[in-house]
Amino acid sequence: MEEIDIIKPDDWHVHFRDNEILKAVVPETTRHFRRSIVMPNLLPPIINAEQALNYKKEIENAIPQSDNFEPFMTIYLTENINKDELKFAFDEKAVFAAKLYPAGATTNSDSGVKDISKIMTTLETMAKIGMPLLIHGEVTDKKIDVFDRERVFIDEKLDNICKKFPELKITLEHITTKDAVDYVNDGNKNLAASITPHHLALNRNALFVGGIRPHNYCLPILKREIHRKSLLKAAISGNKKFFLGTDTAPHLKIDKENACGCAGIFNATYCLAILAQIFDNEKSIDKLENFVSKNGAFHYNLGLNKEKIKLRKIQEKVVFRRYVNVGNDKIKIFEPDFPIYWRVDNY
Ligand SMILES: [Zn+2]
C-alpha cells in the first residue's frame, strides 16, 4: 500500500448552479477542497456585488458542517458592465475575479461579450486594481471548426489582451490544446492556465465509443491525443503556470441524454482519485501537490492551505458511485475509461 499526504487542494473553477442542483453538488466539492472559484453563469448571470453575496450565502448554506470551505465569487463580464460597480464589488471583497465568456461559447453565456474592444476600458480598470480576469478562451464564429476555436481565440483575441495589459492577471481556463500550453508557457508572468481532469483523462475518441457519449461532451470540446499529451506534460511538469480548475459542471441526466444534450462534465466527486491515478501512471505522483494545492494559490497571490489530506493507493479497483441524486432525477458522476486505485482517505 502506498499513501501520500498533500496540502488540501483548491479547485479554481467550479459550477455550482443554484437551487436543488446546488444543494446536491456543493458537498461533493467541499468534501475534498478548501477553496474554489465559483462561476457566475446563472440565469440571470451574476453582474454585481449584491447578487454575488446572495449567491455566496446560498452556497454557504449548502456546505456540510464538517467541511471548512471558502467560495470565491466572480462577476460575469458583459459589454455594458459598469466599471465603478465592478471596482466596488472587488474593493468590498464581494467578488474575487471577473469572467469573460465570449457570447454563446457555453452554458448560459448568451449575455457574454460579442466584441472584446467594448470591454477594453474595463480590463484596464481590472489591471489597475489587481482583479484577475478568467477567460473561456474560444471564439464562437460558426465558420470556425469547433475543434479549432481555442487556437483561433488565442491568435485573434488573447494575444491582443496580453500585449495590451501585461499587468493584468489572466487565467486561460480549462485549456484543451497544445497551442494553449505553448502560448501560456511562452507568455508573460501574469498569464497562467487551468486544466480539467477530464481533458487529462480523455481524448476526443471518448465522444464516440460505440455510439455517441453525451456524458463526455463538454466545452471546450475534447481534442486529439496529441493535445491531451501536451496538457498532461504541462500538468505533471510542476510548472507554476498550470493548475487544477475542474470545470465540474452538473447537468441533470435528462438534459445530457437528450437530442440536444448540454455541455458539461460533473467530476467533483472522484476528481482527486482520478488525478492521483493519472499522475501515478506517469510516475509523477510527487508533482500532484503542485498541480492541485500550490500553483493556483501562487498565481492568485494567496497563501497555501494549512490543512492536509491523505491519498491512499489500494489493491482493489475503486468502485465509483455512478450518480448524485437530485429530486426525481440525477447527475452522472464522471468516470474515466481506466481503473482507479487511489482514494482520498476516510471517504
Ligand atoms: Zn466552466
Query: In this structure, are residues 291 and 304 in contact, taking their beta carbons and an 8 Å threshold?
Result: no
Q: Is the pLDDT of residue 347 over 70?
A: no
Q: Distance, CA 196 to ligand 1 centroid (Å)?
A: 10
What is the reported pLDDT for 110? Answer: 74
Task: Round the average pLDDT of the chain to a whole number and report it.
Answer: 96
Could you please report the per-residue DSSP string of 287-322?
Answer: GHHIIIIIHHHHHTT-PPPS-EEEEEE-SSPPPPP-
Alpha carbons 201 and 205: distance in angstroms, whole number: 11
Q: Where are the domains of the chain?
A: 2-344
List the grid coordinates of 303.
497563501
**CA atoms in the 13 A half-sphere facing the CB of 333:** 17
Residue 65's pLDDT band (cuts 50, 70, 90): very high
The alpha carbon of 220 and the centre of ligand 1 are apart by a number of angstroms equal to 9
Amino acid (1-letter code) at residue 60: E
Tallying the residues shown for the chain, one arrives at 347
* 3-class SS of residue 106: coil
Q: How far apart are CA 276 and CA 343, in angstroms?
A: 8
DSSP, res 155:
I
The 10s digit of each residue's pLDDT in 223-252 is 999 999 999 999 999 999 999 999 999 999
Cα–Cα distance list, 135 to 77, 138, 231 (Å): 10, 9, 17
Q: Which three cell numbers stand for residue 204?
A: 476526443
Residues in CB range of 115: below 8 A, 6 or more apart: 79
Q: Measure 173 CA to ligand 1 centroid, in angstroms.
A: 8
CB 197 within 8 A of CB 274: yes
198 C-alpha to center of ligand 1: Å?
A: 12
For 133, phi and psi rounded to 5 degrees?
-105, 125
Report the separation in Å between the CA atom of 204 and the middle of ligand 1, taken as the mean of its atom positions.
18
H-only helix segments in the chain: 19-30, 49-61, 83-91, 120-129, 149-153, 159-164, 178-186, 197-201, 225-236, 253-256, 271-281, 288-289, 295-299
Q: What is the pLDDT of residue 250?
A: 98
Instruction: Supply the pLDDT for residue 346.
Output: 66
On whether the pTM is more than 0.85, the answer is yes
Q: pLDDT of 113-168, one tens digit each? A: 999 999 999 999 999 999 999 999 999 999 999 999 999 999 999 999 999 999 99
Give the integer Cα–Cα distance in Å for 178 and 234. Answer: 9
Give the Å distance between the CA of 15 and the centre of ligand 1.
Answer: 6
Distance 1 CA to ligand 1 centre (A): 35
What are the catalytic residues? 247
Rg (CA), the chain: 19
Query: In this structure, which topology does domain 2-344 adopt according to CATH?
Result: TIM Barrel (3.20.20)
- How many angstroms is it from 252 CA to the middle of ligand 1? 16
Q: What is the distance in A from the centroid of ligand 1 to the CA of 284?
A: 27
